[in-house]
Amino acid sequence: MARLDGKVAFITGVARGQGRSHALRLAEEGANIIGVDICADIASVPYPMANEDELAETIKLVEETGQSIVASVADVRNYDALKNAFDQGVSQLGPVDIVLANAGIWPTSLDPEVHLSSWHDAIDVMVTGTFYTLDITVPSMIERDQGGSIVITSSTAGLKAAGRDYYAVNSGRIAYTTAKHALVGLMRTYANTLGKYNIRVNTVHPTGVNTKMVVNDNFAQHAAKNPTEAAALQNSLPVQLLEPSDISNAVAWLCSDEGRYVTGSTFVVDAGFTAR
C-alpha cells in the first residue's frame, strides 16, 4: 500500500519544475492530482515561463503512473480563475487532503522598465497567490473533517537574505526574498489556527534547484558579472544544485502519516546552505 493511497492533492505551478516533480512523486504514492499553472510569460521574469505543452506533458506523466489528474490553466493571482479550477477538480476527483502552494517566480530582470512591476509581480504571485490558494482550499478541508497537509514552497531566501552588493540586487530579487520570508509568517498563522482540525501546515526551504528558474541565460549572465554574489550562493555539501525530486521526497514525507506530528515547521532541504 502506497503512503498516499486515496488522497487528492491540489498543486499550483504544476506544469514543470518542482510542481511537476511533486505531482509525479505524490501520484507514485497513490494520490490523485488537481493542478494549475499560468502557462504564460510575465514581463518582469527574464526566462520563459511554463507553457500549455509542458502542462500537457505533466498530465501525461501523471497518468502513466496510473493515477488521475485534472490540470488547467489558471493564474494564482486571479482568485476567481483559481477557485474555478479547484472546484472543477474537486467535482471530478473529490475533496482534497493535500495542498502544495508551489507557484513561484524569480523576476530578476535588470530592465529599468520593469523595476516596479518586478516587486509587484513577486509579491502578487508568491504571497497573494499563496493566500488565495489557502483561502480557497482550507474551508473544504475543514468541512471534510479528515485533517490534511499543506506545504508552502519557500526558499533558503525565506530564512536568510542573500546578496551583499546593493547594485547587484535589484527590486525583483529583494521582492523574492521578502515574499519567501512572508510565507513563513503565513504558514505559522495557518499552522496555529488549523491545528485543532488536524491540518498540518509547513514550509519547505530548498537551496538552488535544477529548474528553469535558475538554469537560464539571465542567471548565468548575472553570476558571471557578479562572482562575489555567485560565490555567496554556494552550499556546504559538494553539490551545486539539487534535483526537483530531492524536494519532492521531502514534500511527500511531510504529506504522509510519517510526518503526522510535523506542523509549523520551516523544513530545510538545502545541502547546508543556511549553515554557512
User: What's the whole-number mean pLDDT along residues 117-136?
Assistant: 97
Instruction: State the burial class of residue 121 (Cβ atoms within 10 Å of its Cβ: 0-12, 13-18, 19+).
Output: buried
Q: What is the pLDDT of residue 223?
A: 63
Closest to 276 measured CA to CA, from 264, 166, 268: 268
Asked whether residue 272 is assigned to any structural domain, the reply reads no
Residue 164 pLDDT > 90: no
Asked whether residue 216 is assigned to any structural domain, the reply reads yes
DSSP, res 112: G
Q: How would you label 201-211 residue by residue, b for 16+ Cβ within 10 Å and e otherwise?
A: bbbbbbbbbbb
What are 176's three cell numbers?
A: 523574492
Closest to 69 measured CA to CA, from 53, 57, 82: 57
Q: CA–CA separation, 86 vs 158, rounded Å?
A: 27
> 77 CB contacts (<8 Å, ≥6 apart)?
124, 125, 128, 129, 132
Q: CA–CA separation, 202 vs 263, rounded Å?
A: 6
Catalytic residue annotation: 176
User: What's the whole-number mean pLDDT along residues 131-154?
Assistant: 98
Asked whether residue 1 is assigned to any structural domain, the reply reads no
User: What percentage of the chain exceeds 90 in pLDDT?
Assistant: 84
Confidence tier at 167 by pLDDT (50, 70, 90):
very low
Can you give the residue range of the structural domain that contains 139?
8-266
Asked whether residue 274 is assigned to any structural domain, the reply reads no
Q: Which of 83-87, 94-98, 110-114, 188-192 has the lowest mean pLDDT?
A: 110-114
Asked whether residue 271 is assigned to any structural domain, the reply reads no
Q: How many CB atoms lie within 10 A of CB 131?
A: 17
Q: How many CB atoms lie within 10 A of CB 71?
A: 22
CATH code at position 220: 3.40.50.720
Answer for the pair 67, 31: CB distance below 8 angstroms, yes or no: yes
Q: Which of 81-95, 151-165, 211-225 has the lowest mean pLDDT?
A: 211-225
Asked whether residue 197 is assigned to any structural domain, the reply reads yes
Average pLDDT, the chain: 93
Apex 245 CA angle, 197 and 269, nearest 5: 65
Confidence tier at 26 by pLDDT (50, 70, 90):
very high
User: What's the whole-number mean pLDDT along residues 122-145?
Assistant: 98
Asked whether residue 173 is assigned to any structural domain, the reply reads yes
Q: What is the pLDDT of residue 101?
A: 99
User: How many domains is the chain built from?
Assistant: 1
Asked whether residue 154 is assigned to any structural domain, the reply reads yes
Higher pLDDT, 220 or 32: 32
pLDDT tens per residue across span 55-105:
999 999 999 999 999 999 999 999 999 999 999 999 999 999 999 999 999
Residue 219 pLDDT > 80: no
